[in-house]
Amino acid sequence: MAECKICPHNCFEESRCGKGEFGQISSMAIDPIEKKPLRRFHSGRPIFSIGGFGCNLRCPFCQNHEIAMGKGVGKTLTPEDIVALAKDIPNNIGVAYTYNEPLIHYNFVSKCAKLVRDSGLCNVLITNGYINQKPLQALLPLIDAMNIDLKGFTEEYYAKLGGTLQPVLDTISLASKHCHVEITTLVIPDENESHIEPIAKWLADLNPEIPLHISRFYPCYRYSDKSPTEVGRIYELCSIAEKYLKFVYPGNVH
């Protein structure tokens, strides 16, 4: 069995990330771009959002666990189908690959992205950033914007999620040189609140104009017994991050 070179797991087991069949679509929607969240990229415009099944991390607080934590059966669409649907949406800026982890469907996303770009629309990735540098470098020329989840800022924290931190930092560093990048950190009470300031400092060293979304946790999946993040705490952490970054946004506070 061939080794998969897409993400740092470098698996020999095709089913580890539960990616299923390329083109199996779990979800489709027309979303405001701000919902991705992207606040400084084509603000006020809609984007055609699609998702599949599976993920290469195992976050116990996953907010889309129904589709991210295993295989599923959805509507099968070709890249040509997706472009045709996107072009029919008034004022649409392009296609967002989202809901589950899109980069586990690397070949499918690459084919879609080429056709989307050729049609004059934008490609947007909503991703955990857990990808090897070589495939990322090959894909980035087709990508216009990314929102990358930076879930914490220690290797110990990422180990609990089934991954490692450094590849995500490498993704952010590389992507920020090639396309518009915004970062999201979901704040889990008593777990990663202390990570916000070092995250903000690190991002500021890359570029202090990279937007950071500090998002509120709601109980779900294996963390259904935890308390939600206090709204006031989100604003406190935003104030800390604003010492280093120009654009900091609270998320899920309403």
Confidence (pLDDT) at 73: 76
Q: By the 8 A CB rule, do 130 and 57 touch?
A: yes
Alpha-carbon distance 246 to 248, whole Å? 7
Q: Across-strand partners of 71?
A: none
Angstrom distance (rounded) from CA 124 to CA 27: 16
- The reported pLDDT for the residue numbered 16 is 67
Among the listed residues 224, 253, 236, the one whose alpha carbon sits nearest the alpha carbon of residue 196: 236
Q: When comparing pLDDT for 214 and 18, which is higher?
A: 214
- List % helix, strand, coil for the chain (3-state, nearest 5): 35, 20, 45
How do residues 116-163 score in pLDDT, each as one tens digit? Answer: 999 999 999 999 999 999 999 999 999 999 999 999 999 999 999 999
Residue-level pLDDT at 254? 82
Q: CA angle at residue 116 from 9 to 37, to 5 degrees?
A: 65
What is the C-alpha to C-alpha distance for residues 171 and 50, in angstroms, rounded to an integer? 22
Residue 241 has phi, psi (to 5 degrees) of: -65, -30
Q: What is the pLDDT of residues 71-129, one digit of tens each?
A: 777 789 999 999 999 999 999 999 999 999 999 999 999 999 999 999 999 999 999 99
**C-alpha–C-alpha distance, residues 85 and 68, integer Å:** 24
Dist CA 253 CA 212 (whole Å): 15
Q: Residue 83 phi/psi, 5° resolution?
A: -65, -40
Q: What is the pLDDT of residue 15?
A: 57
CA distance 44 to 37: 12
- In the chain the domains, ranked by start, together with CATH numbers, are 24-251 (3.20.20.70)
| Whole-number pLDDT of residue 20 | 56
> Which residues touch 231 (CB under 8 Å, ≥6 apart)?
216, 253
Dist. CA 156–CA 132, nearest whole Å:
20
| Predicted local confidence at residue 85, as pLDDT | 97
Residue 183 has pLDDT above 70, yes or no: yes
Q: In whole angstroms, give the CA distance from residue 98 to residue 83.
A: 16
What is residue 103's predicted lDDT score, i.e. its pLDDT?
A: 95
The region of weakest confidence among 19-33, 51-65, 190-204 is: 19-33
* pLDDT at position 13 over 90: no
Q: Per-residue pLDDT averaged across 180-189, rounded?
A: 98
* pLDDT, average across residues 33-53: 96
pLDDT at residue number 17: 80
Predicted TM-score of the model (pTM): 0.96
CA dist., res. 107 & res. 171, Å (int): 18
